[in-house]
Structure 1
Amino acid sequence: MSTTTPVITEDTARHVLWHYGRPGGMQPGSYTERLMEAIDAADMVNAEKLRGAYPELVSAMLAAKNDLDGIDCLQQIADAA
């Protein structure tokens, strides 16, 4: 198992911000939108399973949901473009 944190791209940051209704967000396509709903609804066991296929998106979603500065960090990434 890899312990490295995936790099979160500007697009992923914007999509996650949109999901949580935060400034700087951008609506993704319908597949990504539904995937984010699944990640948001998942318990930690299932979120980790999804991380295997979508490491960047799961990392960004969990940061936004659980980290005190998660939204701020995503906004900084989104503004970097």
Structure 2
Amino acid sequence: MSIQTPVITDDTARHVLWHYSRDGGIRPGRGTQSLMEAIDAADMANVEKLRLGFPELVAAMLTAKNDIGGIAKLQQIASGV
């Protein structure tokens, strides 16, 4: 079984940037805000459960939190480059 990394869309990148108060962010709806708060607060076992239903959002959140240059990557996606 192969695990594919979901493609992060420009909208999702903007929402995650907003969550972390970074340039290029746009405020999402309340439901997405709640999901991002849950992902941010969850331990890794529960993040993996959330990934099942929201793979793109989890990938973007983890990119922002854990990847060196992750914020810059999301800003690039958000700008359409």
Deviation at 1:2, TM superposition (A): 4.5
Equivalent AA in structure 1 for residue 7 of structure 2: V
Give 1:39-78 correspondences, 5 Å limit.
39-78=39-78
- Aligned pair count reads 81
| Aligned counterparts of 1:42 and 1:72: Cα–Cα separation in 2 | 24
In the other structure, the counterpart of 2:20 is 20
User: Percent of counterpart pairs with the same letter?
Assistant: 69
- Per the normalisation by structure 2, the TM-score is 0.96
Secondary structure, aligned partner of 1:65: helix
Deviations 1:36-75 (A, max 9, x none): 0000001111000000000000000011001111101000
| Aligned counterparts of 1:14 and 1:63: Cα–Cα separation in 2 | 13
Secondary structure, aligned partner of 2:64: helix
| Aligned counterparts of 1:64 and 1:41: Cα–Cα separation in 2 | 14
Equivalent AA in structure 1 for residue 16 of structure 2: V
In the other structure, the counterpart of 2:38 is 38
Aligned CA RMSD, in angstroms, stands at: 1.1
Structure 2, unaligned runs of 5 or more? none
Q: Which runs of 4+ in 1 moved over 4 A?
A: none
Structure 1, unaligned runs of 5 or more? none
| Aligned counterparts of 1:4 and 1:79: Cα–Cα separation in 2 | 24
